[in-house]
Structure 1
């Protein structure tokens, strides 16, 4: 039996489970809110063209209005100034859109401290227990934050000092970018950086270091609790927007059962 035929039969039989890691995209989807004077993306919106009526009696369709970084989305290197000479989202090689993934679960720590930061020692301890991070694969960072995704205020968790969401320390972000061979970094929060990362040095270190190193980001994932610690394969094809800095994406995980 050919490899592809075996794969298709395994999906159909349930020997390979397909798990959707994507948040539904609607006008209620939480989006990043930057303070003035910075610009902000627009909420997702459908604009009806016709729906089985005099504008089009036999069909239903819409225009969509959205930002590149709305909902579950893919960050390309060119999204950040440190990656300004890197790939735009249309230039990401197709072979990079299917890759192995591991899950680092710090949901208990994040439940106790919404400003929890992943440190180098956390990752190294995980590697001692589970083996090395996957070469050319995704590091998926589980914090349990997807449980808040139905409420923008709870999801952004902001007060007078700014947002409070878990993320990665400056030192860990630099280390992941320079000392590991991961393809990219995926999170359940609104962006790959901690809510307080605007105050770090450098600000937004995941964006700065990882995108600057030519790696990718995935945000607003869900269902990471359904994945094994190792062994999953992630399929994450963004729209090939010419010159685009990112794109909404439907992220699927393939898991052997």
Structure 2
């Protein structure tokens, strides 16, 4: 294999040393670009398939090879990390890189769905890390040139329409995608999630922010899971309209359909321009002859060498010479467009981008009580009359409550000497979106593991609130409710801390064996030291119908409190009204 020489640069410029994680199909375009960038050097490559990593290292002269990400990140003098893995497991890699404090550029899709990507990107922004999404289509030379022409008013100062027609022809057989990216076949969302995001981002780059979306999606190849054909229409805030008409099933007449990925037309109040499948641009001002517009474009690398241009931009960002075009906050805007397209296809209507679930009607909400009823039969509770209407003219009651009775919240001081008390609790953690982890039915004394959680919900993200459904509350009032409860293993507790989970809620009266002080102490202390809020004694999680709910559990503001009963509720929006 031969590679182009590095471009010349100022000998005093810094050379950034990078680690590439992922040695699959598309990583070769990353490596080719890094090798041609004079101020970058890939000094290590990591892939769980060590043979792939060795092959890439041999082809590109990379000195260090790894199969373990954690070990790879211990390389000395790393300046950045490039993540080019398959989507599965990408979040955990990103988390490790952020923890290591290294800048990174990461391939898309960022996560399996919009919710996961939003959590991840929001969290990254709180870490003040340099993070760039490897969204390279906007760096294709024809789009950079068209952007320049639009800014120069080459076809007018008011954009009317942008239309793109894409026919890739790589998804029509029973062996579709197997030779390059076989995981495409099992994506429940494919065309828009994997390919449409490029054009949502590029359309935003050319025409500005999107206000509304409409989508129509189909699957033509029955051998795959997701959609492979469809279209979206975007209404821009400027009043312009964008249309992407795409199929990975049907073929193009272009000799290389992956060079430009289709044909583009742009219309404005002063004329039109067209781009063909070879990247040729034709301009026709209104009332004047059409003419070919000359500009430079490359045949190197991928799609006009856009990977090179994208990675060069990343190095400019690292050097402080450019603002990141595809930062988390910017990329979330493109993700929101694609999620709106899916919402539109589901409901057959235009969807506002800034309100994915908004409709002409206010959604109906269902409130589910997740609390055990409090009465004199509850352990640690005594309810006594204090006043009566007959004697004093009003009813009042004296409540004696054990601080960890029934459905309750623990404060760190419960098991940590000098730990925070209830009145010091950040209440924002006590309410917000929570994910349901279905572990039901749990067996007596079952020890919940990391695998149990990941099998139930997949990736776990920083800031997640997790409600463990075990149906154990149904044993309330029996001896085994307290003495045989299913528990959180110490390994799981440590992992939840590592994942930076914000809160866990469980149905048993404790997260650990109440009859084993060593286990009880170690699990609680691990979670508390890691900043994980604990709610215990939940009920009725089996009544929830959605994988994510709005959760609220607020304690009394008890000065110095180590715990307190709470009224825990879940709120579900009626999907029929969305």
> TM-score, with normalisation over the residues of structure 2?
0.35
Using the TM superposition, give the Cα deviation of residue 173 of structure 1 relative to its aligned residue in structure 2, in angstroms. Answer: 1.2
The CA deviation at 1:195 is: 5.1
Q: Which residue of 1 aligns with 2:569?
A: 252
Offset of 1:197 from its aligned partner?
Answer: 4.6
- Name the structure 2 match of 1:136: 463
2:537 is aligned to 220
Select 2:404's aligned residue among 46, 69, 84: 69
Name 1:45's counterpart in structure 2.
382
What is the aligned length?
Answer: 216
Cα distance, 1:137 vs structure 2: 3.3
Cα separation, 1, equivalents of 2:471 and 2:437? 11
Q: What's the CA shift for 1:136?
A: 2.3
TM-superposed deviation, 1:194: 3.7
- Per-residue CA deviation, residues 159-198 of structure 1 (Å, 9 max, x unaligned), is xxxx221111111111112x11221111111112145654
> How far is 1:26 from its partner?
1.3
1:187 pairs with one of 506, 514, 519: 506
User: What's the offset of the Cα at 1:135?
Assistant: 3.5
The CA distance in 2 between the partners of 1:107 and 1:127, in whole Å, is 13
The 1:85–1:209 alpha-carbon spacing in structure 2 relative to 1, beyond 3 Å, is same
CA contact (8 A) 1:174 1:205 kept: no
Which of 85, 88, 91 is residue 424 of structure 2 equivalent to?
91
**CA distance in 1: counterparts of 2:421 and 2:521, whole angstroms:** 19
2:490 corresponds, among 145, 170, 173, to 170
**Partner residue, 1:243:** 560
Whole-Å Cα distance in 2 between the matches of residues 212 and 197 of structure 1?
20
Greater CA drift, 244-253 or 137-146: 137-146
1:86 and 1:214, CA in 2 relative to 1: closer, same or farther beyond 3 A?
Answer: farther
CA contact (8 A) 2:422 2:561 kept: yes
Residue-by-residue CA offset, 1:7-52 (whole Å, 9 max, x unaligned): xx95xx7x221111000111212x4xxxxxxxxxxx2111211111
Provide closer, same or farther for how the CA distance between residues 244 and 199 of structure 1 changes in structure 2, counting only shifts above 3 A: closer
Unaligned runs of 5+ in 2: 1-354
Name the structure, 1 or 2, with higher relative contact order (CA <8 Å, separation 6+).
1
**Contact 2:429–2:533 (CA<8 Å) still a contact in 1?**
no
2:388 match: secondary structure: strand
Check conservation: 2:369, 2:570, Cα contact below 8 A: yes
Q: Which residue of 2 aligns with 1:231?
A: 548
The Cα of 1:229 is off from its aligned counterpart by: 5.4
Counterpart contact for 1:99–1:137, Cα < 8 Å: no
Q: Report if the CA contact (8 A) 1:100-1:134 is conserved.
A: no
Question: Which structure has the bigger radius of gyration?
Answer: 2
Q: Which structure 1 residue ranges, 5 or more long, are not aligned?
A: 32-42, 157-162
RMSD: 2.2
Query: Are the counterparts in 2 of residues 237 and 249 from structure 1 also a CA contact under 8 Å?
Result: yes
TM-score in terms of structure 1 length: 0.77
Q: Per-residue CA shift, 1:124-173, capped at 9, x if unaligned?
A: 22343xxx335323211111111111x242422xxxxxx22111111111
- In structure 2, C-alpha distance between the alignment counterparts of 1:248 and 1:174, rounded to whole Å: 26
Q: In structure 2, do the counterparts of structure 1 residues 119 and 228 end up closer, same or farther at CA, with 3 Å as the change threshold? A: same
Q: Residues 195 and 85 of structure 1: is their aligned pair in 2 closer, same or farther, counting only changes over 3 Å?
A: closer
